[in-house]
A and B are shown apart, each in its own frame.
Chain A
Amino acid sequence: MYSFDPTEEQQMLIDAVSKYAVNDLRPAAHDAEESRDLPKKLVSKGWELGLLQASIPETYGGFGERSAVTGVLALEEMAFGDLACTLAVLTPSLYAMPILLAGNEEQKQEYLPKIIEGNWSAYTAALIEYAFDFDPNTLKTVATLQGDEYVINGEKAFVPFAKEADAILVFANLDGPTQGFIIHKDAIGVTLSNEREKLMSLNSLPLYRVKLENVKVPSANRLGGTAGHDFEPILASMRIANAAAAVGVANAAFEYSKNYAKEREAFGVKIAQKQAIAFMLAEMRTEIEAIRLLTWEAAWKLDQGKQDAFSEAYLASTGATDMAMMVTDRAVQILGGHGYIREHPVEMWMRNGRGFATFTGLAIV
């Protein structure tokens, strides 16, 4: 059967996340972006919503089970408030979810309870590399097996909270396939950039470049143990998250510009009463709906273990990239000159919007 109704539980979660996004994130977003500083309290409050905790089974200290669909619903809603803070709240997931999805039993037992037992703490992952043709499936960071340990060389970019993190899940190329390695920050050969990354947006999210020179990793720290793991489910979960976040940001830009158009007068009418503006809004809403459904379907397929879930996730993320750019760009246009001024959030959303072509690896459901 087809159905588009969230469960009661999901709806409660959506409502709770929505409240946080609208009441907490949105009012703080502008100052956080300008000051490059994210209030810790804001992050802990998001953490207390328990999104990650509810994705982890009781055996590993959580209180639920993983559902990509639920993850998508929550992420859409939170990104509606502010993208940078959403990514910060969910950074520990970047470390925990791959372990849940691909780790062996010992790894799950050892790491998962620690991550979720208390307050938000910096666990992170490093996938993105600083290259125009970055491809998560053919990484330039290389792992080689030497004796009973792996040696890793390369450089990772856009690693959230790398400075605070005790451990980083680093993805590297092991004779072709992408594999995850759990690396403790004080491991010899790990160097963080002194400065935070400076990007077009996400100013409040502390991102770092991480250099790895002959970093030795015991084979027990390879994700999935010596047998390794399949990277595809992890990548698909990241792509779906990317798409869901794009839907959230696009929705924010759509709602804001719609409300503006209903207030702003020109030539004696509200500008929303002009077809030139109204049609833009109609198309924005339509494109958001299209990608939103594609993302939901990809998430559902992933949860169901459908064969085409991975390609569907790729399509959703690729489609979301265009959709988010188109919608946020139009939001700026609808506000006209005001859209260009940083007092209104639409220019920031447009900067966010372009990023989804690059953000895969910064969120996971």
Chain B
Amino acid sequence: MPIEFEAPKPITQAQFMLKTVSEEMIRPKSRYFDEHEHEIPWDFIEFMQMAMKATGGSSLAPRENGSNSEEKERRPPIAYQLIATQIESVAWGDLGFYHCLPGGALGAAAIHAAGTPEQKEKFLGRFKDEKPTFAAMCITESGAGSDNSAIRTRAVLDEKTNEWVINGEKIFVTGGDKSFSEYEKLGKGFIVVWATIDPSAGRKGLRAFVVESGTPGVRVVKLEHKLGIRCSDTAAISLVDARIPFENILGSPTVEKTTTGFKGAMATFDATRPLVAASGLGVARAALEFLKEKLTEQGVQIRYGLPRQKLTSIERDVIDMDIMLKSAWLMVIKATWMADNKKPNGLEASMSKVKGGDVCVKITQKVVEILGPLGYSREFLAEKWMRDARITDIYEGTGQINRLVVARQILGYSGSELR
């Protein structure tokens, strides 16, 4: 297909539908859940569960491309592009609410990327059940953030019972509470825990393990109080002699000489980085649109088309923000389009995250600045969006880690050549 920028129909339909959801269900509650951290927006969760079932999407995860109906053959795949759009649209409503969308999130994404067909069947089917169900990814530890090789959580195989015994403590688990704690209104979730099966092997020893909710020895020990995205729970989870079945390991149970197992699981991030960027850009769009509304109310026109020398400072800022937002969004679309078309997109995925993280932070901060007291006041959401957006440049690889990934790709360097 030639170069084209026409949003496919399913995408424009999703945008239309989710705009209504955002306006009717999310925005009115946005401030409440910002001020009542750790309360769970049950109404929204239950509504979205119903709505997603009704429209056939079980969660915001791409459907398996297993079925080869002729319909699918003829139409170019757009699953990831569609998800990016959906995420952007919900995050436009509220970024914290986006994290409360029922589904497997990063936990399921890891299984998508590294699971066997049996594992996919066993762990992913539940997201189609009646009750809203969550899953989460546990990587970060107090001493290991972007540097996964510093992970200390240990998994040891008990050969007598053929179970993995896991010990360690994970922090910053997005959705960890909803995924692991047992709530009556929720289906049975799970967390995907990263642990080493051989501490001397460094990264080569890292594996991911599926830990079902309610597993004895595993506890949510803390819910963090955060700068923003407050209705998304961020948990610390401790694992003490937690026993899980042998077959819950993702990837090979033995340590090989290569890091292919690790890389397979890291492929999760090639798929999800543009989606994180998309979520941040939703917030940025919300902020920029709000600014434009307020300026219009005040009779301030943005004179597009004038040379810069003739623009006011506000006009320059708004136009620059338009450029940032539009171009960053196109990078998300390109990265997801590559994923949909099975083109290797490691570079584009990380670039979209670098740009998306930058852009949503810059735009939301600038909007608060331009709006002055209106921006800083909690009467409006601009200040909240600035706090919410800030996480985008941090989670799933900080802007700096993504720059490193981009740099390695463009320079053709390995991790040891460019540290």
Binary CB contact string for chain B from 241 to 271 against chain A (1 if under 8 A, 0 otherwise)? 0000000000000000000000000000000
CB of B93 to closest CB in A, whole Å: 24
Q: How far is the CA of A348 from the CA of B76 in the complex (A)?
A: 43
Interface 9-residue window, one of A42-50, A193-201, A205-213, A309-317? A309-317
Closest B-chain residue to A294, C-beta based? B327
Residues in B387-419 with C-beta less than 8 Å from chain A: 400, 403-404, 406-408, 410-411, 413, 417-419
Q: Are A2 and B5 in contact (CB under 8 A)?
A: yes
> B3, B76, B334, B410: which contacts A281 (Cβ < 8 A)?
B410
A279–B338 Cα gap in the complex (Å)?
A: 24
B349-370 interface mask toward A, CB cutoff 8 Å, 1 = contact, 0 = none?
Answer: 0010011000000000000000
**A272 with B413: CB separation less than 8 A:** yes
Q: How far is the CA of A7 from the CA of B1 in the complex (A)?
A: 7
Tell me how far the C-beta of B323 lies from the nearest C-beta in chain A, rounded to whole angstroms.
Answer: 4
- The residues of B that contact A6 with a CB separation of less than 8 Å are 2-3
Q: Does A291 contact B (CB under 8 A)?
A: yes
Interface size class of A (residues with CB under 8 A): 35 or more
Closest to B306 in A: A135
Q: How near does chain A come to B324, taking the closest CB pair, in angstroms?
A: 8
Q: Are A1 and B331 in contact (CB under 8 A)?
A: no
- 0/1 per residue, A272-309, Cβ < 8 Å to B? 11010011011101110111011011001100100000
Contact in complex: B411, A262 (CB < 8 Å): yes
Could you list 17 examples of A-B contacts with CB < 8 Å? A1-B78, A5-B2, A7-B2, A69-B2, A132-B309, A258-B410, A261-B411, A272-B418, A282-B407, A283-B403, A290-B330, A293-B334, A311-B304, A311-B305, A316-B323, A318-B323, A319-B323
Q: Which residues of B contact A316 (CB under 8 A)?
A: 323
Residues of chain A within 8 A (CB-CB) of B307 are 133-135
Q: Report chain B residues within 8 Å CB of A132.
A: 309
| In the complex, A22 has a CB within 8 A of chain B | no
Interface string of A3-17 (1 = CB under 8 A from B): 111110010000000
Interface membership of chain A positions 107-139, coded 1 if the CB is closer than 8 angstroms to chain B and 0 otherwise? 000000000000000000000000011110100
By a CB distance below 8 angstroms, the chain A residues around B6 are: 1-2, 304
Q: Is A165 an interface residue (CB 8 A)?
A: no
B326: interface (CB < 8 Å): yes
Nearest CB in chain A to that of B333: its residue: A2
Nearest chain A CB to B175 CB, angstrom units: 29
Closest to A8 in B: B2
Give bound CA distance, A4 to B327, whole Å. 14
Residues A279 and B5 in contact, CB atoms below 8 Å apart:
no
Alpha-carbon separation in the docked complex, A10 to B304 (Å)? 32
Closest to B75 in A: A1
Residues B337 and A357 in contact, CB atoms below 8 Å apart: no
B313 to chain A, nearest CB (A): 15
Q: How far is the CB of A296 from chain B (nearest CB, A)?
A: 6
B328 partner, pick from A283, A290, A314, beta carbons under 8 A: A290
Contact (Cβ within 8 A) B404 A1: no
Q: Are B305 and A293 in contact (CB under 8 A)?
A: no
B299-333 interface mask toward A, CB cutoff 8 Å, 1 = contact, 0 = none?
00000111111100000000110111011101101
B304 close to A290 (CB less than 8 A): no
Which B residues touch A273, using CB under 8 A? 413, 417-419
Check B310–A133 contact: CB distance below 8 A.
yes
Residues of chain A from 200 to 258 with CB closer than 8 A to chain B in the complex: 258
Known: A258-B411, A282-B407, A293-B330. Contact between A300 and B5, CB under 8 A? yes
Select A69's contact among B3, B308, B408, beta carbons within 8 Å: B3
- Cross-chain contact A300 with B4 (CB below 8 angstroms): yes
| B125 contacts chain A at the CB level, 8 A cutoff | no
Decide yes or no whether B8 CB sits under 8 A from chain A. yes
